[in-house]
Amino acid sequence: MHMSQTLCPIPFPHPCPYRTRRSGTLPRALPHPVSASLPVQEAPFGDVATRGFFSNLLFENEMRDQVMQRHGLSERDIVGLLFHLGADCPGAISCVPKGSGPVKRPGVLSADYDPLDGSPSVPLNLSDVSGPIEVTGELARIMVSLRDNRRLPAETDDPSPLAGVQGKIALTRLEDGRLALPKQGCGAPTTHILKVPRTSQMRTVAREHLATQVMSDIQSHPAVQTCVLGSGDLQGLLVARFDRRLEGEEVHRIHQEDFCQALGLGVHLKYERNGNPPRAFSAEAVGKLLNATRLPGAARIAFFEMTIANMLLGNSDNHAKNHALLYTGQRPELAPAYDIDPVLLEDVTHEMSFRIGKARMADDVGAADLDLFLKAIGARGFGRPLAQRSAGIIKAALARAAALPRPVGKALSDVIRQQAHHLSENAGFDMDVPDFDNVPVNRP
């Protein structure tokens, strides 16, 4: 494994030989630990700690299935899969065979990328985009393949595969605004992610874009920038990566890890309901991570505000892999909000990813639950300042709901108003919420 280190391909359940030392040259090579769950220590880490971190580096897509079949690997053979798929895993690390050198390096925009034929010009600041950007040529062909087959066209290599079950591709924005792919084998980073759903789910593109904009507007912590590429039955959500840094013509990676990795939890424990304390994605577990950030007090308030905003947006799917830490120094920062999806509009479970106080459903959360939640993440509690701030977020959300474009924003507007009605009533804010069409809630 490189930062720069090597992970030996020793199969589990043998203890992983990865370790970080307090002495010698390693502290000078590593500006920070690889993970909050793998602190610097002399002894090797065991199976539980290493499995929690490294299993989350793997992605779910056709490439992984092909590798499993081609090499006779099981889904549980994490090290075997990383042997073949770990060169460009999430974060600023690589998992490669012992003795191999680093494969990731900074990218030079004018030299390390191949522009996509017919690519539109995309602004550096995606917030400047006022409507969908039309696509043609090679980018359109890629989007069609992602939409219909959940993979890239046969003639297109994927030098930077991504986690998740959606059709995705990682791209780089060049200085002239065109989108490009890293040249095969160059190890250069990408700057954007393009997500393309199936035809039956095409409505989710505009919905997530609008929800992300609302998230950015109603609370104080940054959210990722997004815009819509394409229209009609061929649309994709372009997302600017928060784990990249531009220095002139050079693109650099910034190390990041999701909360599953930071807590040492396997991907199946990304919801609190699937775990058992202390191995669970709970408010108490989140509090420990926030306490380890560079500015713990600010991180606690930011996470609280993001949680209120997610409740209002009907995003009960803000699980442990949809929160992250960003390592810009020795102590991490809370990453921007991302994957803001109003799943209240989908026929899935609407139980929250983690409990807020004693509440499992957003429409049950009251002032006492918010007080317990804040104390669990390390804050003082739901006193007057945070009550006023919560009321301010609700009012801002209602104002944005009224301004959402119709008809595409109608359903999201109903979600916001319905959620605002419940939270205002339960928390004692007694706000005047405009009428809304009822959105069904699936309760466990």
Over residues 393-424, the pLDDT tens digits come to: 999 999 999 999 999 999 999 999 999 999 99
d(CA 7, CA 264): 17
User: 117: which 2 tokens?
Assistant: 């034929």
388 or 96, which is more confident: 388
pLDDT in tens, 270-289: 999 999 999 999 999 999 99
* CB atoms inside a 10 Å sphere around CB 155: 8
DSSP-assigned states of every residue in 19-52: -B-SSTTHHHH-SS-SBTTB-SBSSPP-HHHHHH
User: 210: which 2 tokens?
Assistant: 């609008």
The length of the chain in residues reads: 444
42: confidence class by pLDDT, cuts 50, 70, 90: confident
Show Cβ contacts of residue 278 under 8 Å, excluding neighbours closer than 6 positions. Answer: 284, 285
> What are residue 390's phi and psi, to 5 degrees?
-65, -45
Of the candidates 253, 146, 248, 247, the one whose C-alpha atom is nearest the C-alpha of residue 190 is 253
pLDDT in tens, 329-356: 889 999 999 999 999 999 999 999 999 9
Note whether 243 and 255 are within 8 A (CB): yes
pLDDT in tens, 193-206: 999 999 999 999 99
DSSP-assigned states of every residue in 261-273: HHHT--GGGSSGG
Query: In a 3-state reduction of DSSP, which class is residue 2?
Result: strand
Of the candidates 265, 358, 354, the one whose C-alpha atom is nearest the C-alpha of residue 315 is 354
What letter would DSSP give residue 139? H
Topology given in CATH for the domain delimited by 254-427: 1.10.1070
pTM above 0.85, yes or no: yes
Show Cβ contacts of residue 55 under 8 Å, excluding neighbours closer than 6 positions. Answer: 78, 266, 267
Half-sphere exposure of 45 (CA within 13 A, CB side): 22
Determine which of 166-175, 296-305, 398-407 has the lowest per-residue pLDDT on average: 166-175
Note whether 40 and 22 are within 8 A (CB): yes
Q: Please provide the average confidence, as pLDDT, over all residues in the chain.
A: 90
Provide the pLDDT for residue 68. Answer: 87
Query: In a 3-state reduction of DSSP, which class is residue 195?
Result: strand
DSSP-assigned states of every residue in 97-137: -TTPPP----EETTTSEEEPTTPPP--SSGGG--SPBP--H
Domain ranges within the chain, ordered by starting residue: 1-103, 107-245, 254-427
Provide the pLDDT for residue 8. Answer: 32
Name the region of 327 (left: φ>0; alpha: ψ -120 to 50; beta: rest). Answer: beta
Q: Which residues of 175-200 are buried (b: 16+ CB within 10 A; e: fewer)?
A: eeebbbbbeeebbbbbbbbbbbbeee
User: 262: which 2 tokens?
Assistant: 């930071």
Q: What is the CA radius of gyration of the chain?
A: 22
Strands (E), 286-327: 324-327
Note whether 382 and 309 are within 8 A (CB): no
Note whether 411 and 208 are within 8 A (CB): no
